Structure 1
Amino acid sequence: MMKQWRLVSLVSLLALLLGGCGKDFQSTLIPQGEVAKMQYDLLLLSTAIMVLVVLVVTAIFIYVVVKFRQKKGQENYIPKQVEGNHKLEIIWTVIPILLLLVLAVPTVTYTFKLADVKPAQKQKLDKDTIVIDVSARLYWWEFAYKNEKIVTSQDMVIPTGKKVYLNLKGADIKHAFWVPSLAGKIDTNPDNVNMMWLKADNPGTYNGFCTELCGPSHALMQFKVKAVSPEEYEAWTASMNKLDGKQETASAQAEEGKEIFQKSCIGCHAVDANDARPAAARIAPNLANFGDRELVAGIVENNEENVKQWLKDPEGMKPGNLMTGKYGNLTDEQVDALTAYLLGLKAEK
């Protein structure tokens, strides 16, 4: 029995230790934006109140146990019974009310502040308002920039120091959007649009996740949020607007890959960042800047080896994805050519 308790204690200690570990790109305990900081402050406040209550109750409990424990010679002694003390009853009624008020005031204030998405609800958006339609799909993410007329996938690029408004919807089943370092999670439902905003204080790349169990590759449904300076963001949007699918290929092999892509992949994937099709018609990730992305399929490093592995066996890399079985078996030469073409799809720097 003691060995089991030791094992349980060790596992609990390790869980507590690992729970406190984190990096600034994926930890709620290292907030990197205004929304995350508000939520972090509420977390600290509520935790402080709970710890205070536990300490006070524990202190009273220990005091009572020690003071009123049974002593030798007093086995039949009955202490004076105290009941109906109005002062005590008022104290232990008022204190919880005060504690709830201390927690409720900032909670309600922040709730209204976080729910303020009026700039994104205007019939005609202001020029500087950044609104992104986020579409969650099995098992990837699409980001459509309304003012910039850009569509991209897996990587969401935002400027630092500016509010970015998100319209979130699930394209197939329910998913959930969460970037721990920047904002709390929100559901993406197929039958309604949820709205939120976030803001990044510092440049960097932050990890995003789906937090609603959605199938065999739920844990692999990841994305990146890249925060860059406002100047870099403007340069990025300008370069993305030039990606119309007619970019020159860098080699004969890439040109061969382009021909293969036009015959077998173009039915689902677009390489035009200005894709004007309605969201329902965009059934696969936009690949306009595929070569610039950090990850392949949202989970492994974007390099030649992993791209080839993905093309040969998408089901083995991400089970349940909709790309499996969409095209016939490719020869090694075709895979090489298609890889060269895809890695060459980059925005101008």
Structure 2
Amino acid sequence: MRLAFTTVLSSLVGLSFLAHPAIADEVIQTPTLFKPISEPAFSIMDFGLLIIWICAGIFFIVFGLLIYTIIRYRAKAGDESLEPAQIYGSEQLELAWTITPVLIVIVLGLITAGRIVALDKTTPPEGSLGIRVIGHQWWWELEYDGYDFITANELHIPVDQTAFLTLQSEDVIHSFWVPQLSGKTDLIPNRTNHLWMHPQETGLYVGQCAEYCGTQHAHMLLRVFVHTRADFERWAAEQQQAADQVASVDLGRTTFEQTACVNCHTVRGVTEIGQFGPDLTHLMSRTTIGAGAAANNRENLVAWITNPDHFKPGARMPAMKLNPQQIELVADYLTTLK
């Protein structure tokens, strides 16, 4: 019954995030509230269905009584000369339509309060994976507790383990939302919020900043990869390594180091002074650039370095005014950061 209802409901009211044209050829999960694969998304879905069923019951009862009244007391032949029976109040009826709504509101309030208490965790559960998420205009910074590395825009977590996220903002209000994994939680400047998820299926799940945060709010996407434990540990071990030193791109690395790139970006093992932009140590391990603005390949990297506004008008990264040869060299270097 629940599956049939959610299937019909999702077809009528389905929530979807359209892929950017540059990455539309990739096979990705379509976000939906109606196919949760994690706690607390399961609980949120169950609570939503409960509210819908209660409201539907109220609607059909009221609508049924209205139809009954229209039919039962409709005008009949010969009624023109008769005066309807006059009823001056009914204590039983008045008590019924007063007490019943009050009881419904109390029940819904108690259920809601219980769910909030159960889902609102402010301390990491035992054995959870801690991740610090910092919202920027317009990208996500991700720092893994105990693993000593920072990445961006693509969250990797193991299946069947709680991921406990500490949410902070560097500039304006953002909102972290991956519908199939958890509820929506805001990232607010000078405040720390928390969110947790316990996925039960591996796969790729797509989310979005759900609070308008400026010009490129629509291009502040988020990808969550849920791995098996072995695959997650393998990915984390790769992320902990310093950047590859490939001799064939020394000239590109030198160009990168001698321009303003290093003022914003860190490449561990090369330069670690940049804090303003995403960490690029393992840039090519990510599937997109610009928080989902374009597929991560050499062609798009060249276009991004030339003019980030091409993909993301208003992006905080300026066009570096490099000549075409320098851009090609830097792009060659960046493609080795795997």
Aligned residue number for residue 189 of structure 2 = 190
Aligned residue number for residue 168 of structure 2 = 169
Task: Decide whether aligned partners of structure 1 residues 292 and 18 sit closer, same or farther in structure 2, where only a CA change above 3 A counts.
Answer: farther
Q: CA deviation at 1:17?
A: 5.1
Q: Is the CA contact (8 Å cut-off) linking 1:240 and 1:273 kept in structure 2?
A: no
Q: Per-residue displacement from partner, 1:26-81 (whole Å, max 9, x unpaired)?
A: 11111110111100011101111111111111111111111112223212533223
CA distance in 2 between counterparts of 1:54 and 1:273 reads 64
Aligned residue number for residue 52 of structure 1 = 57
Identity %, equivalent residues: 29
Q: CA deviation at 1:18?
A: 6.2
Q: Is the CA contact (8 Å cut-off) linking 1:34 and 1:200 kept in structure 2?
A: yes
CA distance in 2 between counterparts of 1:83 and 1:147 reads 74
Aligned residue number for residue 237 of structure 1 = 236
Which of these residues, 294, 304, 308, is aligned with residue 298 of structure 2? 304
Which of these residues, 262, 265, 283, is aligned with residue 290 of structure 1? 283
Q: Is the CA contact (8 Å cut-off) linking 2:175 and 2:211 kept in structure 1?
A: yes
Q: TM-score, normalised by structure 1?
A: 0.84
Aligned residue number for residue 6 of structure 1 = none
Aligned residue number for residue 265 of structure 2 = 269
| Residue 212 in structure 1 maps to residue 205 in structure 2 | no
| Residue 317 in structure 1 maps to residue 311 in structure 2 | yes
Q: Is the CA contact (8 Å cut-off) linking 1:26 and 1:181 kept in structure 2?
A: yes
CA distance in 2 between counterparts of 1:161 and 1:101 reads 35
| Residue 222 in structure 1 maps to residue 221 in structure 2 | yes
More displaced 10-residue stretch of structure 1: 146-155 or 331-340: 331-340
Secondary structure in structure 2 of the residue aligned to 1:99: helix
Aligned residue number for residue 3 of structure 2 = none
CA distance in 1 between counterparts of 2:270 and 2:30 reads 29
Aligned residue number for residue 331 of structure 1 = 323
Aligned residue number for residue 102 of structure 2 = 97
Aligned residue number for residue 67 of structure 1 = 72
Q: Is the CA contact (8 Å cut-off) linking 1:144 and 1:152 kept in structure 2?
A: yes
CA distance in 2 between counterparts of 1:112 and 1:206 reads 26
Q: CA deviation at 1:226?
A: 1.0
Aligned residue number for residue 116 of structure 1 = 121
Task: Decide whether aligned partners of structure 1 residues 216 and 167 sit closer, same or farther in structure 2, where only a CA change above 3 A counts.
Answer: same
Q: Is the CA contact (8 Å cut-off) linking 1:150 and 1:273 kept in structure 2?
A: no
Secondary structure in structure 1 of the residue aligned to 2:109: helix
CA distance in 1 between counterparts of 2:228 and 2:135 reads 26
Q: CA deviation at 1:84?
A: 3.1
CA distance in 2 between counterparts of 1:295 and 1:288 reads 15
Aligned residue number for residue 146 of structure 2 = 147
| Residue 260 in structure 1 maps to residue 255 in structure 2 | yes
Q: CA deviation at 1:162?
A: 1.0
Aligned residue number for residue 20 of structure 1 = 14
CA distance in 1 between counterparts of 2:210 and 2:284 reads 27
Unaligned segments of structure 1, at least 5 residues: 1-15, 121-125
Aligned length: 316
Q: Is the CA contact (8 Å cut-off) linking 2:266 and 2:272 kept in structure 1?
A: no
| Residue 340 in structure 1 maps to residue 329 in structure 2 | no
Aligned partner of 1:100: which letter? V
Give RMSD over aligned pairs.
Answer: 2.4
Aligned partner of 1:272: which letter? R
Q: Is the CA contact (8 Å cut-off) linking 1:151 and 1:274 kept in structure 2?
A: no
CA distance in 2 between counterparts of 1:273 and 1:205 reads 30
Aligned residue number for residue 83 of structure 2 = 78
CA distance in 2 between counterparts of 1:75 and 1:48 reads 42
Task: Decide whether aligned partners of structure 1 residues 319 and 301 sit closer, same or farther in structure 2, where only a CA change above 3 A counts.
Answer: same
CA distance in 2 between counterparts of 1:191 and 1:145 reads 21
